[in-house]
């Protein structure tokens, strides 16, 4: 899913998520605790002996370096990966989620009038989209199918594909 995605789009999504978190939380760094990672959080830590503060700008620079410098060896030849997430890179699972969330956020903003009809649940690169409709009302049912069609065909980068799993014909 992420093999053919331009790296500039990955970095655009990372920049967007960091800016979004900064605006929503009014924080610009992450506190990482050495001994107890459960204490790590968005925001500063004033315990300099047991933690380190990493500004969002540095997080972006680290992501940019990893994505732009993904080298691999094939038949004793070193290649630079120019498309997609770095295979096996420590940030790749996060990049895949951020890219999906970025495009899904744009989709949700484009259907603002219909937000009560659709709900997203994400687990890494798996998306569960639930669209609510009244079985007796043909117009809401048509709207539900229209939203799913737009989600599948118009939401993500053309290099990405969303495969729908059919649900059974029940009342849920």
What tens digit of pLDDT does each residue of 18-62 get? 999 999 999 999 999 999 889 999 999 888 889 999 999 999 999
- The per-residue DSSP string of 57-116 comes to HHHHHHHHHHHHT-EEEETTEEEE--BSSPTT-TTHHHHHHHHHHHHHHHHHHHTGGGGG
| C-alpha–C-alpha distance, residues 56 and 37, integer Å | 18
Residue 114 has pLDDT above 70, yes or no: no
- Write down the residue that tokens 């760094």 correspond to: 29
Task: Say what the pTM is.
Answer: 0.84
What are the structural domain ranges in the chain?
7-154
Residue 165 has pLDDT above 80, yes or no: no
Count how many Cα atoms sit within 13 Å of the Cα of residue 168 in the half-sphere of its side chain: 3
């Amino acid at each position: 899913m992420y093999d053919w995605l331009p790296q500039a789009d990955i970095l655009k999504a990372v920049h967007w998520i960091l800016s979004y978190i900064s605006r929503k939380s009014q924080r610009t760094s992450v506190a990482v605790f050495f001994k107890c990672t459960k204490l790590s959080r968005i925001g500063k830590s004033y315990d300099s002996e047991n933690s380190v503060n990493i500004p969002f700008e540095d997080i972006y620079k680290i992501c940019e370096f990893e994505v732009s410098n993904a080298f691999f060896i094939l038949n004793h030849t070193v290649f630079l990966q120019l498309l997609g997430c770095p295979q096996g890179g420590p940030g790749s699972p996060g990049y895949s989620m951020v890219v999906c969330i970025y495009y899904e956020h744009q989709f949700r903003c484009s259907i603002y009038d219909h937000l009560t009809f659709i709900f997203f649940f994400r687990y890494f690169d798996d998306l569960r989209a639930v669209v609510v409709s009244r079985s007796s009302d043909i117009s809401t049912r048509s709207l539900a199918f229209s939203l799913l069609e737009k989600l599948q065909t118009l939401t993500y980068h053309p290099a990405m594909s969303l495969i729908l799993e059919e649900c059974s014909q029940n009342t849920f």
